[in-house]
Amino acid sequence: MSPQRLTLTQGQPPSMVGMNEKTSALRHFTIHHDGVSIPVSRGGRGRTLVLCPGLNSTLADLHELAGLLRQDHDVVTFDLRGHGLASAADRYTFEAFLGDLAAVMGELRRLDPDTAPVLVGYSLGADLAVHYAAGHPGAVAELVLVDGANPVPEPFVTEALLPELRAMWEDMAARQEAERGTPRQVLLTAREILDLNVEIDTVRAEILDRYEKVACPISMIVSTSMAGDGAGGHAQRLNQNWRAGIERLVREQPHITAFRLDADHQLVFTCAPEIARIIRSAQDRSAR
């Protein structure tokens, strides 16, 4: 199996798409907190929606999905520390990234104190969204979680898989050198990506407790083959583990609505129109 097919958080999209969207209506501002600068873009019409990227994805990478959602949402997008146009940081931990999301949400509360936005998170961004909503009752109107925040029964980073994962992330970090200085840059090293994935395993082992503290409606959009479609080997085990986590979640939290897309973990890039439609349909159901 090719190492590039194993994407436990997410890799770079194959290309930038949807670049003909008019950006003149977008508003851009920067949030400074914890020694980092977080660039934020906001635009569209309708209900406020915050789109939180994940590890190794940027505001620019999510351009197509954000553009589709802006048709009927006031969409707020941003870069996490060390990603895109955000500044580098001296630590890349789950709590540090959660602080970035909290800073954006806090600024929105200052600007719109009477509005609780829809919060959409992709991969690591989904985990951040669940933790934020659990710790801030009433601050989120609805959660949409895209291929993340999954209480998988087994960790993904295992001793058996570690050499392949290390090689994959070293290759990813080397390829990302070409993006330095662009809106798609990622400043994390292969070691920092590995350490964060190990931490994410620990976070997901306890995430069911966080779900218990979330009162708003929750929708999940999940891939059927998150690690790719390779037959046998690690991909099969990882896909089974991913599906088992989702089944466990909807069994223990039956109010959560799960939508499955025939895709791998790159679904936010390859299935943007489908994801936008699902988000709209979820909004329609919650409004009834």
Mean pLDDT across the stretch 78-89?
98
The C-alpha angle 283, 272, 225, rounded to 5 degrees, equals 105
Rounded Cα distance between 11 and 7, Å, is 6
Max intra-chain CA distance, the chain = 51
Confidence (pLDDT) at 234: 84
Confidence (pLDDT) at 16: 36
Distance set, CA 88 to CA 58, 166, 187 (Å): 14, 22, 7
Rounded Cα distance between 260 and 147, Å, is 9
pLDDT digits 0-9 by tens, 118-164:
999 999 999 999 999 999 999 999 999 999 999 999 999 999 999 99
Based on its alpha-carbon atoms, the radius of gyration of the chain, rounded to whole angstroms, reads 18
Contact 235, 5 (CB under 8 A): yes
Structure letter (DSSP) for residue 61:
T
Element (H, E) at 43: strand 36-44
Contact 197, 191 (CB under 8 A): no
Domains observed in the chain: 3-7+23-287 (3.40.50.1820)
Element (H, E) at 168: helix 162-176
pLDDT, the chain, mean: 90
DSSP string, 202-259: HHHHTHHHHHTT--S-EEEEEES-TT-S--SHHHHHHHHHHHHHHHHHHHH-TT-EEE
pLDDT digits 0-9 by tens, 227-280:
998 655 789 999 999 999 999 999 999 999 999 999 999 999 999 999 999 999
pTM of this prediction exceeds 0.85: yes
